[in-house]
Amino acid sequence: MKRVLLIGTGGTIASQVTEDGLAPELTSRQLLEHIPAISGICRVESLQLLNLDSTDIAPRHWLRMVRCLKNHYDEYDGFVITHGTDTMAYTAAALSYLVQGSPKPIVLTGAQKPIGFDTTDSKVNLTDAFRVASSDMPGISLVFNSKVILGTRAQKTRSHSFAAFSSINYPLLGVLREGVLLPYIRQSYTERPTFYEQLNTKVALLKLIPGTDRALLNFLLERNDALIIESFGVGGLPRYNHREDFFEVVRRWVERGRLVVLTTQVQNEGSDLGVYHVGHRLKQTPGVLEAYDMTTEAAVAKLMWILGLTADRAEAERLFYAPVAGDLLWPAVPQE
């Protein structure tokens, strides 16, 4: 029987009602008490790493998860990480860059309602996660509402319902039906995983709205090493009738060594800067990258990982366009 380590980090799944609302208070050991049937799936041991609302999860906590996985990797056949839903897609993406090529399953899961509630999705999600962690599905995945989602493609798309997560621009890795895992796609892996333990968190995100003040670009680029701009449609920057338009602000900052990534606010099908005049000239600007079909969560985590490895802009661009864990399917740029 497979040995699986349950790593608790808090979240709704471990929450209880308090005077100030739901707060994570249960330990991973207490979670297991609610699902005794797990003993028929695998041998489980538990470890309480954090006990946080996922709103409070930060990149330093991702690195703690990586160190925990690294320290215990040889002891177990698979891993389940319980996590709050609000930032779980960011954590799944981050772990996909920080733990690459794992032949063992590393599964994130959580719930929309606490495990102690009568109507809860916690027990199903957690049981399904253990089934996946006991399988031969390698790499980082997110298991929720009977779906197995690639770590770099998960996104929370519903705030209340049990079908909280979707796989963006990528098919499901598998599904679970009546307690049976039906795998569709098997991630690539290496004999041993590569662990990374450095991040550069000076990455910012700006979501454009009609009339956005370009001073926001200056503010964010002055204080960060990289900026992701969620633009409209297939991508582009506004051409307001100002002395200096958005493009000139971006051009000036990339000449100083900053990285700027253009992505789209549209959930599906990705960006394509070359379609319209407002985006075309960006494609010719060194230091301006395009996210194509990547999720925003993956773009954020990937930039933090890349900038933790190198300050060389050419190398950073190469790494950004090099697919990792299925994060990028169609960059229309030549690959060396």
Measure the CA–CA gap between 300 and 12, rounded to whole angstroms.
24
What is the topology classification, in CATH, of domain 203-321? Answer: Rossmann fold (3.40.50)
Measure the CA–CA gap between 182 and 2, rounded to whole angstroms.
18
Q: One of 9, 12, 91, 263 is an active-site residue; which one?
A: 12
Whole-model pTM: value is 0.93
Residue-wise pLDDT for 74-96, tens only, equals 999 999 999 999 999 999 999 99
The average confidence (pLDDT) of the chain is: 91
> Which two three-digit tokens encode residue 334?
């030549």
Residue-wise pLDDT for 193-211, tens only, equals 999 999 999 999 999 999 8
Looking at 3.40.50.1170, 3.40.50.720, 3.90.1170.50, 3.40.35.10, the CATH number of the domain 3-195 comes to 3.40.50.1170
Q: Where are the beta strands (DSSP E) in 60-136?
A: 78-82, 99-100, 105-109
pLDDT-derived band at 279, boundaries 50, 70, 90: low
Residue from 256, 261, 262, 263 nearest 311 by CA: 256
Measure the CA–CA gap between 176 and 178, rounded to whole angstroms.
7
Please give the share of the chain, as a percent, with pLDDT higher than 70.
92
Residue 214, pLDDT > 90, answer no
Residue 269: per-residue pLDDT = 78
Residue 240: per-residue pLDDT = 62
Residue 38, pLDDT > 80, answer yes
Query: Does residue 85 carry a catalytic annotation?
Result: no
The lowest-confidence range among 246-250, 256-260, 315-319 is 246-250
For residues 1-8, give the mean pLDDT.
Answer: 97
CB atoms within 10 A of CB 300: 23
Q: CATH 3.40.50.40 in the chain, residues?
A: 203-321
Integer angstrom CA distances of residue 128 from 41, 86, 205, 250: 10, 20, 33, 45
Q: CATH 3.40.50.1170 in the chain, residues?
A: 3-195
Residue 234: per-residue pLDDT = 78
Residue 99, pLDDT > 70, answer yes
Residue 276: per-residue pLDDT = 41
End-to-end CA, the chain: 44
Q: Where are the beta strands (DSSP E) in the chain?
A: 3-10, 15-18, 21-24, 43-52, 78-82, 99-100, 105-109, 139-144, 147-150, 154-156, 165-167, 174-177, 180-183, 194-195, 203-207, 226-231, 259-264, 288-290
Residue 333, pLDDT > 60, answer no
Residue 287, pLDDT > 80, answer no
